[in-house]
Amino acid sequence: MNYLADVAALARKDLLLELRAKETVPAMLLFVLATLTVFHFALPRGAGHVAALGLLWVALVFTALLGLTRAFVPEREQGLMDALVLAPCDRSAIWLGKVLAVLAFLGLAELVALPAFSAFFSAVDGRTVAAVALADVGICAVGTLTGAMAVAGRARELILPLLFLPLAIPIVVGGVGASAGAGGRYLGFLVLYDAVFGLLAWASFEYVVSET
């Protein structure tokens, strides 16, 4: 129970920071709307529903990327990471707290993005919503870990997409498959992805932040 309390405290810290600074979520919202508008012009006239669904996934992955780029910036700028690593809690709690916070931001962005998508392009069915929810878990799990790696380096914002996108390709395959094709198998695949990479990221986060 102590572990969960730590996670809750860490997630609360991030949410509170966001509530006061209002940096990440408005940026994500604007970005996803702008991307959808660009896609309207990028799609040739008469392009079908399926093509638009594919672009929805591109928009979601890039929006998530935007949030993830910012995720560890306060920690690094204020030197908070060292304090967190010194704190008497399990290091994976840092990861889990951050995942929950980023998940909340991404969820908020999608609460706007999905209705906007149905208004701009075509209606979103329940299976797409389920796929988006499942994909979010995987995106945040893997993205938070790679985000922690990226801020340790000099290139930071530059390097996160490079680290993250190859790992996100299976998510896009699963997501597009679930929303455009025959669903069940792909939703199962997304669950598998979340489980495998979630566990791996949870178990290995300690090594990413420790200095020995």
Q: How far is the CB of 73 from another protein (least distance, A)?
A: 16
Neighbours of 204 (CB within 10 A): 12
* Enclosing H/E stretch for 143: helix 126-152
Per rule CB under 8 A, count of chain residues that contact another protein: 37
**Per rule CB under 8 A, is residue 79 in the interface with another protein?**
no
Mark 124-143 with x for binding to another protein (rule: CB under 8 A) and - for no binding.
------------------x-
Tell me which DSSP letter residue 153 carries: S
Neighbours of 63 (CB within 10 A): 25
The DSSP string of 97-127 is HHHHHHHHHHHHHHHHHHHHHHHHS-PPPHH
CA dist., res. 66 & res. 27, Å (int):
8
Q: Token match 């149905």: residue?
A: 118
Closer by beta carbon to another protein, 17 or else 192? 192
- Per CB under 8 A, contacts with another protein among 99-118 are none
- Per CB under 8 A, contacts with another protein among 142-201 are 142, 145-146, 149-150, 152-156, 158-159, 162-163, 165-167, 169-170, 173-174, 177, 181, 185-186, 189, 192-193, 196-197, 200
With H, G, I as helix, E, B as strand and everything else as coil, classify residue 64.
Answer: helix
The footprint of another protein (CB under 8 A) covers: 142, 145-146, 149-150, 152-156, 158-159, 162-163, 165-167, 169-170, 173-174, 177, 181, 185-186, 189, 192-193, 196-197, 200, 204, 207-208, 210-212
